[in-house]
Amino acid sequence: MLDTLVRRKGTADPRERPRTRSVPAAPLAVALALALLAALTAAVSWGSTNIPAGEVWGVVLRRLSGEAPRPGTDDLIVWQLRVPRALLAALVGAGLGLVGTAMQALVRNPLADPYFLGISNGASLGAVAAIVLGLGTGGTLGLGLSGAAFAGALATFALVWAVARRRGGFAPLRLVLAGVAIGQFLSGFTSYLVLQAGDEQQTHSVLFWLMGSLSGASWPLLAVPAVAVPVTLVWLQARARGLNALIMGDETAAGLGVDATRLRRELFTLTSLLTGVLVAVSGAIAFVALMVPHACRLIVGGDHRRLLPVSALFGALLLVVVDIVCRIAMDTQELPVGVVTSLIGAPALLYLLDRRLGSGS
């Protein structure tokens, strides 16, 4: 949680800045950016066919400079298959880090994530319906499937919004209860559709997508998240002080001149839209949005001016590394990304929570 602002007499003073941990955010961000660059290089270089890093960068630089591709398979593998996948992993990881951080401020709950408000469930229902009804095109994660997932997320957003606003106000508790209830209903309907899958291949496609996958990455699929994630980061960063105030309560926020209700509406809209975009292109990837903000708060503290960029970089790095593991862990098949994030995220989250409880925070 955000480090408390304490006066000498022990009461909160909203004029003071949130205290942060001793690790400076700027050097950490630079280190994470360099590590991300190295991870992206490894992600493009390693696979069923290993390609030297020098050749990888040669292909990338030739493509960026407009040179004609050289004959052979390396150019095709690097530029058409691995570079889009590595970039998609980085964008989705960064987006999930931002969504988790923003949602936890939105509902003032450190356990909030995209599943909390039902948006991921709605996107999953849209995607599963597209697979079962045969609406997806271009493979398991084609653009038709992505469109259906995003439509499901938008419909869920509208439904949760309507229920949360039914009696006026926009209280965090009402929002959470509406999201959880609607999310569980949609999850049950998704399970029913899985049972209605027509054949074994269709069922496999549904389950693989529900566990998260980046295997359908392509240059066209990158277009929307490549715009949505940076725009979201800039928007949230511009409102970082408002997020600091919001997480300390509506009264404190009002004392600082922040309209908590309006900011909460904007946050809910933005995080819902970005969640829809991310789930549409990658499936339901668990634990990243929940774990990344926790880990980053332990390092840089709760000030969102520092927390947001660090969470985006750490989320991007984490998912790129996880995707490498998914591709090379088994010789015969690829692991779903969500399986690895769950295996890593669950014990890591327990460790982080134990540290927080042990420190009394």
pLDDT > 90? residue 330: no
Using CA atoms of 280, 283, 287, 292 in order, give the dihedral in degrees to the nearest 10.
Answer: -50
Mean pLDDT of 163-177: 76
pLDDT > 50? residue 16: no
Of 116, 102, 105, 101, residue with least CA distance to 179: 116
Mean pLDDT of 70-81: 82
CATH of the domain spanning 73-345: 1.10.3470.10
Give rounded-to-5 percent helix, strand, coil for the chain: 70, 0, 30
Sorted by where each begins, the domain ranges of the chain are 73-345
Mean of the per-residue pLDDT values for the chain?
A: 83
Q: Which residue has the higher pLDDT, 19 or 114?
A: 114
Mean pLDDT of 162-188: 83
Q: How many CB atoms sit inside 10 A of residue 266's CB?
A: 16
Name the maximum alpha-carbon separation found in the chain. Answer: 73
Query: What is d(CA 121, CA 143) in angstroms, rounded to the nearest whole number?
Result: 19
Q: Which amino acid is at 11?
A: T
pTM: 0.87
pLDDT > 70? residue 138: no
Residue 12 makes CB contacts below 8 A (sequence gap 6+) with: 4, 5, 6, 248, 252
Q: Residue 163: what pLDDT?
A: 86
